[in-house]
Amino acid sequence: MMQLIQELALFEKAPNEVVATTETLLQHGFGEHPLFVSWVAVQGGNIVGLALCYVRYSTWKGPVLYLEDLIVTESHRGQGIGKSLFETCIEYAKRKQYRKMVWQVLDWNTPAIDFYRGYGADLDPEWLNASLDF
């Protein structure tokens, strides 16, 4: 999983931003009180895709599944792996009766934008991202 996360950070031009480690992923995702759910795609004994989500709460909609990352290693793109992982997230959200699924996509990542538009996703240009680092 960490290799894919590092690959994504490099693709998004932010390789030095990753401070999570294998240990923190294990603690936060697979410990007693997991903060996220994830699915992986495996080929030839290697993880080649990852979807990582968590629940957030909308005061207007109720529980919402937030797709933090959908990653397919570059050499395995175009094989339906991303589609399978994305649809797994959708089915999970429906099964849990979440009201919607939300995520972000960089405005220059046209392959991802086209992928999401293929699902009829609403890409909202009005909202700006905001964050505070601690």
Q: Determine, yes or no, domain membership for 71.
A: yes
CATH of the domain at 47: 3.40.630.30
Number of domains in the chain: 1
Asked if residue 113 lies in contact with residue 124, where contact means CB atoms within 8 angstroms, the answer is: no
Q: Are strands 37-43 and 62-72 parallel, antiparallel or unpaired?
A: unpaired
Tell me what pLDDT residue 132 has. 86
Q: Determine, yes or no, domain membership for 93.
A: yes
Q: Determine, yes or no, domain membership for 130.
A: no
Q: Determine, yes or no, domain membership for 123.
A: no
Give me the active site residues, please.
116
Taking the alpha carbons of 85, 109, 107, 131 in that order, is the dihedral positive or negative? positive
Going by the DSSP 8-state scheme, the letter that residue 102 receives in this structure is: E
Q: Determine, yes or no, domain membership for 125.
A: no
pLDDT tens per residue, range 32-47: 999 999 999 999 999 9
Q: Which domain holds residue 24?
A: 2-117
Buried b (16+ CB within 10 A) or exposed e, 81-104: bbeebbeebeebbeeeebeebbbe
The two three-digit tokens of residue 120, written as one number: 């009829």
pLDDT tens per residue, range 73-126: 999 999 999 999 999 999 999 999 999 999 999 999 999 999 999 999 999 989
Q: Determine, yes or no, domain membership for 134.
A: no
Q: Determine, yes or no, domain membership for 92.
A: yes
Give the contacts of 93 (CB within 8 A, at least 6 positions apart).
65, 100, 101
Tell me what pLDDT residue 128 has. 85
